[in-house]
């Protein structure tokens, strides 16, 4: 490989995104209109800002009340986690494969749902 080819390769590598770069998306959840009273009582927890972060291939959701959970990939650019919060059995799904990006929280027992779209 001659010097010109080597310099061209270095220039191209310099333009590629860094592996250490982080992607953060902020969401504001809103309750679905059909949520039952038990779900509405949990609204203050969910209608505040939640942040999805992807760094070095690791996904995480953080939110009010000390929420900080790792999320696992389920398909390209879609991540999920399930956790128990008080009496609520919550399933979080962050979908970065669609435009606008979405965050959905569903409660598996009561059927509650909160959604957010990143504009």
- Joined together, the tokens standing for residue 67 give 């929420």
φ and ψ at 21, to 5 degrees? -70, 145
CA distances from 67 to 47, 51, 64 (A): 13, 10, 6
pTM for the predicted model, two decimal places? 0.77
pLDDT surpassing 80 at residue 2: no
* 7, part of any domain: no
In the predicted model, what is the mean pLDDT of residues 17-39?
81
Domain count, the chain: 1
pLDDT tens digit sequence for 59-103: 999 998 888 999 999 999 999 999 988 888 899 999 999 999 999
Q: Picking from 41-45, 54-58, 62-66, which range would have the lowest pLDDT averaged per residue?
A: 41-45
What is the domain range of residue 109?
Answer: 19-118
CA distances from 55 to 22, 25, 37 (A): 4, 12, 37
- Joined together, the tokens standing for residue 65 give 């009340």
* 74, part of any domain: yes
* 2, part of any domain: no
């Amino acid at each position: 490989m001659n010097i010109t080819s080597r310099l061209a390769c270095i220039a191209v590598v310099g333009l590629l995104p860094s592996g250490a770069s982080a992607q953060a998306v902020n969401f504001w959840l809103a309750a679905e209109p059909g949520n039952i009273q038990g779900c509405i009582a949990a609204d203050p927890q969910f209608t505040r800002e939640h942040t999805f972060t992807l760094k070095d291939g690791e996904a995480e959701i953080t939110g009010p009340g000390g929420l900080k959970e790792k999320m696992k990939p389920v398909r390209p650019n879609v991540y999920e986690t399930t956790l128990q919060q008080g009496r609520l059995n919550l399933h979080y799904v962050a979908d970065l494969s669609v435009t606008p990006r979405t965050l959905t929280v569903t409660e598996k027992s009561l059927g509650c749902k909160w959604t957010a779209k990143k504009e």
